Amino acid sequence: MNGRELSAPSCTVETPTLAHVAALAGVSPATASRVINGTARVSPRARSRVEEAVQRLGYVRHRAAPADRRSGSIAAVVCEDDARVFTDQFFARLFSGVRRELGDERELVVLIVGRSGRWGTVAEYLRGGRADGVLLISAHGAPAMALRQTGVPVLLAGRPLWTTPLPYVDADNRGGARTAVDYLLKCGRQTIGTIAGPPDRAVGVDRLAGYRAAVGDAGLPTSGLITYGDLHQASGEHAMNRLLDRRPDIDAVLCASDQMAVGALRALRRTGRRVPDDVAVVGFDDSPIAGRVRPRLTTVRRPIEDMGVRMARELLGRIAGDAPVGQGVVLNTKLIIRDSA
Amino acid sequence: MNGRELSAPSCTVETPTLAHVAALAGVSPATASRVINGTARVSPRARSRVEEAVQRLGYVRHRAAPADRRSGSIAAVVCEDDARVFTDQFFARLFSGVRRELGDERELVVLIVGRSGRWGTVAEYLRGGRADGVLLISAHGAPAMALRQTGVPVLLAGRPLWTTPLPYVDADNRGGARTAVDYLLKCGRQTIGTIAGPPDRAVGVDRLAGYRAAVGDAGLPTSGLITYGDLHQASGEHAMNRLLDRRPDIDAVLCASDQMAVGALRALRRTGRRVPDDVAVVGFDDSPIAGRVRPRLTTVRRPIEDMGVRMARELLGRIAGDAPVGQGVVLNTKLIIRDSA
């Protein structure tokens, strides 16, 4: 079989391979590979012949066979609006952990598709890029169907709130919130409120559940003491004002993010309340701002880099065919005591 | 021709189409399309048959024909390390402009590939995702070769420093630096230094060139007055210390970024110099920190959202086949006078 046969109307190509491309282009497979990988100099003539052959055959490099799996990539799909992705340190820290664990073995390509990303398009990118595995971040809903088509392991960042068998890595948000409330109780606080996160996200639901469990176990009521924010500063300020309106006797507040805690500090300052003397404030995440704001925030540390490392490790394990042990891996959080509580 | 022929060893499939997939799977093209797009419910049996057919045929949806080009996506490829991408507001602002101009017509998928991204892999993602066009951001070098394979228009963010015929959209960095220095001269400053950006980036090279031109035209020397930073705060502080060591008589400094200007303010404060009385400081970009720091920064505004809008518009024009007018589009900058100069 030579290249010319490939261009004839009758052929035996079901899935065009690099060898087919090389044959049609009349170059060596090594040359075709160099053109396709863009890794070395090739004569313009050879390049254009290879490019033409690629186009004619509809050649797309496929997911590597087990033997050369090392050449594949890992895709991280972020379903979040740019404005948040590009300002929230969470992503930088998570991917720093992922890259550290991947090392040079596999390339990481991050796809940001927005909250309204069309899953068909995403799946096509993933197939084309022959991802060996997918880390799915901030996905709110059921993209699993489209992703399953890519036929590669998928791992979620954070516990999914929808029904899915997909594995995930998360921090112990519930346990962290519980520990924080227990600490506030031990400090003698009696009227503990919370500024919870969005109810459509695990960090919202699970941190609130931890708060409820701890306050309930202590036999204290929560009436008028629960409010919600979007995890950002301004919403924390508004929410704190609402709490103060409803319960002027509040003496502690657990915020589902450090940013909201910073907003709460501002609202408390404006009403002349001292932190922590009058009202103790606990944040969540231990993001950089927690140590910079005054008073410095007592907060629940979420091990974000470690989550990235663990996500990469779990995904690589599934790619290698390791049998999964349970659906979720939950990493410990830690209460960091500073000045605000 | 029916589906079974397709699975026989001899066939006529050069580029498998949706119709081939449907035929091989024994379902209607509409059903095959629904599975591939992940857009609607399909029976598990039909789905698995379609998925099997996709795999056997090596089917990848190709770039749409002109008639339904609207269904394609635009890819923005960012060749920058995560740590910078996820903390620099530049990207959020640029993509906000891009999305505004794209509207609902085309989806934007942002690919972050790191500085060491392998271009073969990137090209495969782009082909698979059948991008109609590519915005290339922070690319330092010659990925054009690999991207050309994708056969779609490519547009650069920022003037390239390597030889390429690729079109670009940039801000007038040179003119902005010139205007800033002219303003300092008009204010009576005589010993004007600069903290330039990296010499391998257009914002470094062009802003320095504008500084040199303005100082040179005024007949003033630049000896000991030029130093470099990496655009971040700490490097601005170090660079300002170097300038003060070499030229304690310095009375003004143009910084190639607001972040470096903030670092310079800190160094000046530490040596007891007043800003702007002793030393005038001008930043670059007019990023959010410029209005927050004290004294508030006089700075050269780069119209980042407008750059995003214009990039999208230029790219859409090229996709539509409009004849390009020149290689580069350069948007005006504007000197914003606040308190530091």
Low-confidence ranges of chain A (pLDDT < 50): 1-14, 62-70
The residues near A313 (Cβ < 8 Å, ≥ 6 apart) are A101
Write the residue in B38, B83, B123 that is nearest to A96 by C-beta.
B83
- Whether the CB of B130 is below 8 Å from some CB of chain A: the reply is yes
CB contact residues (below 8 A), chain B span 45-104, against chain A: 51, 54-58, 60-62, 73, 82-83, 85-89, 91-92, 95-96, 99
- The predicted pLDDT at position A147 comes to 73
ipTM greater than 0.90: no
- Tens of pLDDT, residue by residue over B131-153, are 999 999 987 665 666 676 678 89
Closest approach of chain A CAs to the CA of B70, in angstroms? 13
Q: Tell me the C-alpha distance between A50 and A35, whole Å.
A: 7
Of B93 and A2, more confident: B93
Residue from B55, B65, B59, B46 nearest B18 by CA: B59
Write the residue in B86, B111, B123 that is nearest to A86 by C-beta.
B86
- Whether the CB of B37 is below 8 Å from some CB of chain A: the reply is yes
Instruction: Describe the strand order of the beta sheet including B168-171 as a list of residue ranges.
Output: A328-331, A168-171, A154-157, A131-137, A73-78, A107-112, B107-112, B73-78, B131-137, B154-157, B168-171, B328-331
H or E segment to which residue B156 belongs? strand B154-157
The residues near A243 (Cβ < 8 Å, ≥ 6 apart) are A193, A195, A224, A225, A227, A250, A253
- Tens of pLDDT, residue by residue over B30-51, are 777 777 665 556 777 787 787 7
DSSP symbols for B101-155: HHTTTSEEEEEE--TT--HHHHHHHHHHTTEEEEEEES--S-THHHHHTTTS-EE
Average pLDDT, chain B: 85
Please count the other Cβ atoms lying within 10 Å of the Cβ belonging to residue B292: 11
- Tens of pLDDT, residue by residue over A113-164, are 887 777 888 888 998 888 999 999 987 665 666 676 678 899 999 998 888 8
Residue B214: pLDDT over 90: yes
Q: Which domains does chain B have, with CATH numbers?
A: 3-57 (1.10.260), 66-170+306-330 (3.40.50.2300), 173-303 (3.40.50.2300)
Q: Chain A contacts of B146, Cβ < 8 Å?
A: 37-38
> Residue by residue, what is the 3-state secondary structure of chain A?
CCHHHHHCCCECCCCCCHHHHHHHHCCCHHHHHHHHHCCCCCCHHHHHHHHHHHHHHCCCCCCCCHHHHHHCEEEEEECCCHHHHCCCHHHHHHHHHHHHHHCCCCEEEEEECCCCCCHHHHHHHHHHCCEEEEEEECCCCCCHHHHHCCCCCEEEECCCCCCCCCCEEEECHHHHHHHHHHHHHHCCCCCEEEEECCCCCHHHHHHHHHHHHHHHHCCCCCCCCEEECCCCHHHHHHHHHHHHHHCCCCCEEEECCHHHHHHHHHHHHHCCCCCCCCCEEEEEECCCHHHHCCCCCEEEECCHHHHHHHHHHHHHHHHCCCCCCCCEEEECCEEECCCCC
- Whether the CB of B165 is below 8 Å from some CB of chain A: the reply is no
> Is the CB of residue A127 less than 8 Å from the CB of residue A134?
no
- The predicted pLDDT at position A143 comes to 63
- The predicted pLDDT at position A12 comes to 33
- Tens of pLDDT, residue by residue over A6-50, are 332 333 344 556 777 777 788 877 777 777 665 556 777 787 787
Question: Do B143 and A38 count as a contact with CB atoms less than 8 A apart?
Answer: yes
Question: Do B38 and A95 count as a contact with CB atoms less than 8 A apart?
Answer: no
Q: Chain A contacts of B95, Cβ < 8 Å?
A: 82, 86
Find the range with the poorest average confidence among A26-30, A245-249, B10-14, B255-259. B10-14
Name which of A6, A109, A116, A305 to mutate to probe chain B: the one with the most chain B Cβ atoms within 10 A of its Cβ: A109
Residue B68: pLDDT over 80: no
- Whether the CB of A12 is below 8 Å from some CB of chain B: the reply is yes
Q: Chain B contacts of A143, Cβ < 8 Å?
A: 38
* B110: closest chain A residue by CA: A112
Q: Which residues pair with A192 in a beta bridge?
A: A252
Q: Tell me the C-alpha distance between B24 and B6, whole Å.
A: 6
- The predicted pLDDT at position B9 comes to 30
Name which of A6, A24, A124, A136 to mutate to probe chain B: the one with the most chain B Cβ atoms within 10 A of its Cβ: A124
- Whether the CB of A125 is below 8 Å from some CB of chain B: the reply is yes
Q: Chain A contacts of B39, Cβ < 8 Å?
A: 119-120
Closest approach of chain A CAs to the CA of B178, in angstroms? 31
CB contact residues (below 8 A), chain B span 97-116, against chain A: 99, 107-114
Residue B69: pLDDT over 80: no
